[in-house]
Amino acid sequence: MQVVGVTVEVVAGRVPILGGATSNSTQEAVNKARELAALPGINGILTASPYYNKPTQEGQYRHFRAIAEAVDKPIILYNVPGRTGANIEPATLVRLAEVPNIAGVKEASGNITQMAEVCNAVPETFAVLSGDDAVTLPLIALGGVGIISVASNEIPREMAEMTRAALNNDWETARRIHRKYLPLMLGNFIESNPLPVKAVLCMMGRIEEIYRLPMLPMRRDMRSKLQKIAADVGLVSKPATPVAEAADFYVYENWLAGPHKIVLHRSACSQCNHGKGRPSGHDANHARWHGPYPTLTEAREASQHMAGVLIRSECKCI
């Protein structure tokens, strides 16, 4: 409730606010909805399918109807089967649309065919909203009326402009914005949402990157990819290109068994370790390093002039 209170205070009536009330217990969801509906500044309730227990279509219908009948605020249903394990089918949405204060659905099934069926089946007064930034334009083309967005945390103005342009049939503008920010929309899901969007907001200096278990900071490699995406769309400064270390080269000579053999290595090679490495079984009496040589050309030239060497090769690090 603290988050809801802060949101109401900051928004100060400028835009509608939906309070989230979801549970896999219908009674608990009803209680949450009632508590939210009683708060000043809350304009409606967003509620997802019961998670984990995977109710039938009839079970979902009765669950959502019970929530709607318990409050006097508009209800937006949230269909996100990838997270809840339960899909609200189009026929069930048609029935739920008959409940007076069930006003719409946030459709995040990822199934464009189902979205088309929903748009065709529900009344025009029933709002079908995209729950996936990347498919907002296709859904609007089918009859959707907007988006409840992840990327709008990072690019609120641009998401609003893209959506308004599509709703006004200005598809050229809508597609231009979509194409620019599609990598960000997809990047927000390279690890579990909301990790990426929080990471980007931290990069932008908007929030501190703090998580509660079981959420953890992004893996370093994924965060680097995300930072590049955010930089490419202009949200953060591009990281400075690291200055490459000077690449020295060494020649490893050994005569432990058979003829003298040499192998050319970069200094940073794990086998070389700047002229300190030694393969298992090799000792200082039968092997030695030559170098460092500042360039590959000089190292190769030196190796060609080493006396008594029968076999010359180069490590794959070269």
From first to last of its 318 residues, the chain has per-residue pLDDT tens of 889 999 999 999 999 999 999 999 999 999 999 999 999 999 999 999 999 999 999 999 999 999 999 999 999 999 999 999 999 999 999 999 999 999 999 999 999 999 999 999 999 999 999 999 999 999 999 999 999 999 999 999 999 999 999 999 999 999 999 999 999 999 999 999 999 999 999 999 999 888 888 998 999 999 999 999 999 999 998 765 544 445 689 998 888 777 888 999 888 887 777 777 777 667 777 888 898 999 999 989 999 988 888 889 998 888
In sequence order, which residues have a C-beta less than 8 Å from that of residue 270 and are 6 or more positions away?
A: 277
**Other C-beta atoms within 10 Å of 71: how many?**
20
Which residue out of 32, 73, 106, 198 is catalytically annotated? 106
Residue indicated by tokens 């949450």 = 32
Q: What is the dihedral of CA 20, 21, 24, 29, to 10 degrees?
A: 180
CB burial string 108-117: b at 16+ within 10 A, e below: bbeeeebbbb
- Kind of pairing between the strands at 102-107 and 127-130: parallel
Rounded CA-CA distance 66/52 in Å is 19
CA nearest neighbour of 119 among 147, 94, 155? 94
Q: Is 78 a catalytic residue?
A: yes
CA torsion, ordered 239, 243, 244, 248, to nearest 10 deg: -160
Q: Are strands 249-254 and 309-314 parallel, antiparallel or unpaired?
A: unpaired
Distance of CA 220 to the CA centre of its chain: 14
Q: 52 catalytic, yes or no?
A: no
DSSP bridge partners of 254? 261, 287
Compute the distance between CA of residue 263 and CA of residue 318 in angstroms, rounded to an integer.
10
Residue 161 CA: distances (Å) to CA of 33, 45, 146, 168:
31, 25, 11, 10
Cα gap 133→110, rounded to integer Å: 11
The pTM of the full predicted model, rounded to 2 decimals, is 0.74
Q: How many CB atoms lie within 10 A of CB 54?
A: 15
Q: How high is the pLDDT of residue 34? A: 97
Number of CB atoms found within 10 A of residue 59's CB: 16
User: Which of 293, 299, 18, 24 lies closest to 148 in space, CA to CA?
Assistant: 18
What is the pLDDT, as a whole number, of residue 154? Answer: 98
Look at residues 19, 3, 111 and name the one whose alpha carbon lies nearest to residue 67: 19
Sorted by where each starts, the structural domains of the chain and their CATH numbers stand as 2-232 (3.20.20.70), 249-314 (no CATH)
**Which amino acid appears at position 65 of this protein?**
R
Helices within the chain (DSSP H only): 2-11, 26-37, 57-70, 81-84, 90-96, 112-121, 136-142, 156-167, 171-187, 195-203, 220-232, 296-304
Gap between the Cα atoms of 241 and 194, Å rounded? 28
Catalytic residue among 61, 78, 250, 293: 78
Tokens of 118: 């929903």
